[in-house]
Amino acid sequence: QVQLVESGGGLVQPGGSLRLSCAASGSIFSVNAMGWYRQAPVTQRELVAAITSGGATNYADSVKGRFTISRDNAKNTVYLQMNGLKPEDTAVYYCNADVKTTTYLRSSEYWGQGTQVTVSS
């Protein structure tokens, strides 16, 4: 079993910053791509940023230049540094990881529990 534990969400003023963290633990053989998704009320969940095991990144157009995704492979942890936050960034943020466990031959996707980010004055 694999668990993804998120932290770092909260309430922030427009223009402020937050740093989200997500640590994977459990019967892990390897962690492949990791990413952050978000979902606001009555919207679809959307990809915010993703990072491969080698460090290649991809961002949604709406967050380019403001958010930075990074990872610490030794800690099986992915981060999302969010700067210049806007009200439209308000959402529940979920981390995602493609993980190969010590039990199964194929990798599987796992999700964190979600952390609320609210940007409001």
113: Cβ–Cβ under 8 A, 6 or more apart, which residues?
4, 5, 6, 94
Give dist(CA 81, CA 21) in Å, integer.
Answer: 9
Q: How confident is the prediction along the chain (121 residues), in pLDDT tens digits per residue? A: 899 999 999 999 999 999 999 999 999 999 999 999 999 999 999 999 999 999 999 999 999 999 999 999 999 999 999 999 999 999 999 999 999 999 887 899 999 999 999 999 9
For position 91, what pLDDT does the model report?
98
CB atoms within 10 A of CB 109: 12
**Cβ(51)–Cβ(57) below 8 Å:** yes
For the chain, how far is it from start to end, CA to CA, in angstroms?
40
Q: Are 96 and 111 in contact (CB under 8 A)?
A: yes
